[in-house]
C-alpha cells in the first residue's frame, strides 16, 4: 500500500494485480471498525440466448480471434497505449466541436464508504483524519462501486494462446510483454502511468434500456451486435474509430430501486460475439456501467471473454462501473447521443487501474 501526499489530502490506494477471482480481504480493524463483508449468495445461469448457434462463442472461436483481432505490433513493439492510440489530435479536435451547448455532466461513480453486496470485495474503503488534520482515504481501485479505467497489464493470457490461461504456460499481456509485476512497483509494462494521462475524444452512448423501453436490463441479459446496430439506426449515431463507446444497461438505476446485488456474477453486458465488431469499429475505450461482459458469459471455460480477448489480444482499454445515468438523461433531452468526453488518469506507478473521473460535454 502506498501513500501519496497531495496538497491537503493523503490518498491511500490499493490495486488488484490479478484478475477473475474474488479476493477476500483479511478481517481487519481500524479504530474499532470491523471489516468482514458477507459473501454474495446470488446464483445466476447464462442467458439461454447465449447458446443460440447463431451467436454462440466457444474457446475455439476465441483462439481464432487471437490472430484475426490482434493489435500486437500495430503501433510498434514498444507501444504502451493500445487502442488509446486511435485518439488522434484530429479526433480530439473534431470531438471539441461537439461541445455546442456547454452542458457538462460527470461519468464517475465514486467508491462508497459503507460495505455493500457489490463493493469492498478486495479491501475496505476507509477515510479518516491524520494527526495533522488532513483527509486520508484507503480503497481498492477495482472496487465494485468505483468507476475505474483498467490498465492493460490487468489481464494476462498464455504465450501460446493469449485468449486463454493455460496452466504452466508463460504469462503474457498485450503486445507480447511478459506479465511482470513487482509487489512494490506494480506492472513493469502497460501500467496505468504508461498509457497517457489526458484525453479528449468523441463519446457515443448506447442506451439499451431506452431502446427496449424499460428502466434497466435484467441481470444476465446479453447484448449482441444486432442490439448495438439497432440502436445506431434509432439514435442516428454510428460508432467510429477513436470513440469512447458507452453501453448503458441501467445497473445504477436498478441498484437505486432494488438495492445492491452481485452484479459481477449476474449482470447485463456485452456478449463475446461482439468482439469482432468492437475491433472493426475501432473503439478506443469501452465503458460499461457494470463489468462490460455479460455475467455469466455463456462461454464455457472463460468468465469474461470481452475483457480477456479485448485487453490481451486487442489492447482495448476498459472502464468498469461507469456512471451513465446523467449522460443518458442529457442525451435524451437533446435527442443527441454523441458528445465530447474528457478525462485524466492518476499516474500511479505500475498501477493496474485509475479512478475514472471523466466528463461528458454537450
137 in a structural domain: no
pLDDT of residue 40: 56
3-class SS of residue 6? strand
24 in a structural domain: no
9 pLDDT tier (thresholds 50, 70, 90): very low
- What would the mean pLDDT of 55-72 be, rounded to a whole number? 97
Q: Of all helices (H) and strands (E), which one includes residue 209?
A: helix 208-212
Most confident by average pLDDT, 166-180, 181-195, 318-332? 318-332
Judge whether residue 19 has pLDDT over 60.
no
Provide the number of structural domains found in the chain.
1
pLDDT of residue 90: 98
Q: Are 335 and 180 in contact (CB under 8 A)?
A: no
31 pLDDT tier (thresholds 50, 70, 90): very low
289 in a structural domain: yes
pLDDT of residue 41: 64
pLDDT of residue 36: 45
pLDDT of residue 167: 84
162 in a structural domain: yes
In Å, the largest CA–CA distance within the chain is 63
The predicted-structure confidence for 162-181, as pLDDT tens digits, reads as follows 999 988 889 999 999 999 99
Distance of alpha carbon 130 from alpha carbon 76, whole angstroms = 46
- What would the mean pLDDT of 143-158 be, rounded to a whole number? 97
**Cell digits of residue 244:** 469512447
End-to-end CA distance of the chain: 39
pLDDT of residue 42: 77
Higher pLDDT, 19 or 231: 231
Judge whether residue 254 has pLDDT over 90.
yes
**Cell digits of residue 196:** 497517457
Could you tell me the CATH number of the domain that includes residue 321?
3.50.30.50
27 in a structural domain: no
pLDDT of residue 304: 98
130 in a structural domain: no
pLDDT of residue 32: 36
pLDDT of residue 166: 85
pLDDT of residue 168: 82
Distance of alpha carbon 333 from alpha carbon 85, whole angstroms = 32
3-class SS of residue 158? strand
39 pLDDT tier (thresholds 50, 70, 90): low
Q: Of all helices (H) and strands (E), which one includes residue 135?
A: strand 135-140
Give this prediction's pTM. Answer: 0.89
Judge whether residue 244 has pLDDT over 70.
yes
The chain-wide mean pLDDT, for the chain, equals 90
88 in a structural domain: yes
Q: Which domain holds residue 276?
A: 49-114+144-361
Percentage of the chain beyond pLDDT 70 is 89
pLDDT of residue 69: 98
Residue at grid coordinates 485487453: 311
Judge whether residue 8 has pLDDT over 80.
no
1 in a structural domain: no
The beta strand positions in 231-337, using DSSP E, are 244-248, 269-270, 285-288, 317-320
**β-bridge pairing 198-207 and 244-248:** parallel
Judge whether residue 3 has pLDDT over 70.
no
3-class SS of residue 334? helix
**Cell digits of residue 91:** 479526433
The predicted-structure confidence for 201-218, as pLDDT tens digits, reads as follows 999 999 999 999 999 999
Q: Of all helices (H) and strands (E), which one includes residue 344?
A: strand 338-344
Cα angle 190, 206, 260 (rounded to 5 degrees) comes to 75
Distance of alpha carbon 286 from alpha carbon 269, whole angstroms = 12
121 pLDDT tier (thresholds 50, 70, 90): confident
Amino acid at each position: 500500500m502506498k501513500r501519496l501526499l497531495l496538497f491537503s489530502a493523503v490518498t491511500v490506494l490499493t490495486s488488484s494485480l490479478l484478475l477473475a477471482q474474488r479476493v477476500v480481504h483479511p478481517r481487519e480493524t481500524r479504530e474499532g471498525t470491523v471489516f468482514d463483508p458477507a459473501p454474495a449468495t446470488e446464483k445466476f445461469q447464462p442467458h439461454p440466448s447465449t447458446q443460440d448457434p447463431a451467436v454462440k462463442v466457444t474457446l475455439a472461436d476465441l483462439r481464432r480471434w487471437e490472430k484475426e483481432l490482434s493489435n500486437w505490433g500495430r503501433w510498434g513493439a514498444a507501444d504502451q497505449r493500445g487502442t488509446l492510440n486511435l485518439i488522434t489530435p484530429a479526433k480530439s479536435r473534431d470531438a471539441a466541436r461537439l461541445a455546442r451547448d456547454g452542458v457538462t455532466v460527470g461519468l464517475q461513480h465514486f467508491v462508497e464508504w459503507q460495505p455493500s453486496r457489490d463493493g469492498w470485495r478486495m479491501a475496505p474503503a476507509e477515510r479518516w483524519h491524520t494527526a495533522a488534520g488532513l483527509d486520508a482515504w484507503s480503497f481498492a481501485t477495482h472496487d465494485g462501486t468505483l468507476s475505474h479505467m483498467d490498465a492493460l497489464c490487468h489481464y494476462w493470457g498464455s504465450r501460446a494462446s493469449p485468449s486463454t490461461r493455460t496452466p504452466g504456460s508463460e504469462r503474457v499481456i498485450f503486445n507480447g510483454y511478459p506479465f511482470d509485476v513487482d509487489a512494490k512497483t506494480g506492472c513493469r509494462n502497460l501500467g496505468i502511468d504508461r498509457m497517457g494521462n489526458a484525453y479528449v475524444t468523441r463519446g457515443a452512448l448506447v442506451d439499451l434500456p431506452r431502446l427496449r423501453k424499460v428502466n434497466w436490463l435484467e441481470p444476465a441479459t446479453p447484448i449482441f451486435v444486432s442490439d448495438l446496430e439497432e440502436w445506431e439506426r434509432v439514435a442516428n449515431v454510428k460508432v467510429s474509430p477513436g470513440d469512447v463507446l458507452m453501453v448503458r444497461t441501467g445497473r445504477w438505476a436498478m441498484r437505486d430501486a432494488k438495492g445492491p446485488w452481485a452484479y459481477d456474477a449476474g449482470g447485463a453486458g456485452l456478449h463475446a460475439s461482439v468482439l469482432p465488431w468492437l475491433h472493426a469499429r475501432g473503439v478506443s475505450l469501452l465503458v460499461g456501467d457494470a463489468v462490460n461482459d455479460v455475467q455469466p458469459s455463456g462461454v464455457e471455460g472463460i468468465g469474461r471473454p470481452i475483457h480477456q480477448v479485448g485487453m490481451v489480444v486487442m489492447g482495448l482499454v476498459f472502464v468498469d462501473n461507469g456512471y451513465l445515468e446523467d449522460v443518458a438523461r442529457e442525451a435524451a433531452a437533446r435527442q443527441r447521443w454523441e458528445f465530447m468526453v474528457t478525462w485524466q488518469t492518476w499516474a500511479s506507478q505500475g498501477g493496474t487501474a485509475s479512478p475514472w473521473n471523466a466528463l461528458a460535454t454537450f
